[in-house]
Amino acid sequence: MMSGTSVDGIDIAAIDITNDDIRVLSTTHRDYDEALRKRILAAASGEATAAADLAALHVAIGDAYADAACDFIPTLAGFPEVVAMHGQTVAHLPKRATLQLGDASRVALRTGVPTVADFRSANIAAGGEGAPLVPFADFVLFGRRAPVALLNLGGIANLTLIPKVEADSVTAFDTGPANILSDLIAQGDGRRYDEDGAGAARGRVDERALGWAFTHEYFAKPAPKSTGREDFGKAFADELARRVTRNGGTRDDALATAVALTARTVADGLKRETPGGVQWRELIVAGGGAHNLTLLKQLRAAVSPLAVRTSDELGIPVTSREAIAFAILGAYRLRNEPNILPRATGASRAVSGGAIHRP
């Protein structure tokens, strides 16, 4: 079970693992109720900092996850061996600290299933960024297709590069903002998000505002690296929209500029971090941003002539890739096997990340 930077709700996936062969059994999504979503956004933006408030939010998110699990498990043909619960990130300070809220004990006790949570802390303790963690699962799912590049378009865009069918060859990093900017700009008009990228399709890219966005120091950093709302949250989105407006642009122009930033920084990151002599077979795209037709169009143009396809075509639903990934991480944690690629995060060694909560 996974909730990402967009804070839209909980993605859920059930998988069967036989050795390293993965079969997706079922997937679903459960929206956060609006009151809980607002509390999460307040915590993530730093508006809610009182210890009592954060503790109460930890419990509330745990209950939301428990409700989702208790509704989902009876729809399955069998009973799960483990629940993997990412929780909701409200703070991520690479190599220093990370905080995912959601009381996993409440999930374990209500479902009767061992529940793994807090996947990122062990990686940070080993000197890593604490993100991205999905590349381990990417290698399990797609490593046989090497050389292949994978892109997740959630709130943040992240790349997994698999040049060889060897785990030690994998690199991964966040390229920068994805849906988070479009969502925040759309919310200025009272919408949750820019559905299908329709607003961005109507707009024009403001190259001057885009040039300002490119000056953010994050884009020049080498991999491994990770980012989040701390870099590309409301303050950044508001400033981007303000500059577009100052230049005579519309809200749709701001959306078009945000999409262009995502597409071009993905292309730049891919070009910069591709190992010498490697020619990618394809770029496989997943995440909610894969439904943004304008973003996909710009992405294809930015990485041309590289072929771009969605993970749907390979049996991995685009909106469930991260939930499937954390299910894989949870299974490996229950086996007490490494579930994080140190090279992808900059950690000193492989660890088996996650705290196990027994019912």
Task: For 153-167, give the DSSP string.
Answer: ESSEEEEEEE-SSSG
- C-alpha dihedral over 284, 287, 288, 290, to 10 degrees? 0
Tokens 């072929």: give the residue. Answer: 307
Do 7 and 184 contact (CB within 8 A), yes or no?
no
Q: Which of 27-31, 42-46, 133-137, 355-359 has the lowest mean pLDDT?
A: 42-46
* Average pLDDT for the chain: 95
Note the pLDDT of residue 111: 98
Residues 5-26, mean pLDDT to the nearest whole number:
92
| CA 193 remoteness from chain centre | 17
Residue 336 has pLDDT above 80, yes or no: yes
Note the pLDDT of residue 130: 93
Q: What is the pLDDT of residues 54-106, one digit of tens each?
A: 999 999 999 999 999 999 999 999 999 999 999 999 999 989 999 999 999 99
Residue 34 has pLDDT above 90, yes or no: yes
Note the pLDDT of residue 19: 81
Domains of the chain, earliest start first: 9-131+320-357 (3.30.420.40), 134-314 (3.30.420.40)
Residue 22 has pLDDT above 80, yes or no: yes
Note the pLDDT of residue 293: 96
Q: What pTM does this model have?
A: 0.91
Q: What is the pLDDT of residues 224-249, one digit of tens each?
A: 999 998 899 999 999 999 999 999 99
Note the pLDDT of residue 216: 98
Note the pLDDT of residue 189: 87
- Cis status of the peptide bond prior to 342, with omega within 30 of 0: no
Note the pLDDT of residue 20: 75
Give the pLDDT band of residue 212 (cuts 50, 70, 90). Answer: very high
Strand locations in the chain (E):
9-18, 21-31, 83-84, 88-93, 97-101, 115-117, 148-153, 156-162, 171-177, 283-286, 308-310, 355-357
SS (H, E, C) 24-48: EEEEEEEECCHHHHHHHHHHHCCCC
CB under 8 A, 24+ apart: contacts of 314-317: 314/142, 314/284, 315/24, 316/24, 316/141, 316/286, 317/13, 317/24, 317/27
Residue 214 has pLDDT above 90, yes or no: yes
Helix (H, G, I), strand (E, B) or coil at 306: coil
Do 26 and 5 contact (CB within 8 A), yes or no?
no
**Beta strands 355-357 and 115-117: pairing type?**
antiparallel
Distance from C-alpha of 247 to C-alpha of 249, rounded to nearest angstrom: 6
Residue 177 sits at φ, ψ, to 5 deg, of -75, 150
Q: What is the pLDDT of residues 114-153, one digit of tens each?
A: 999 999 999 999 999 998 899 999 999 999 999 999 999 9
Note the pLDDT of residue 6: 83
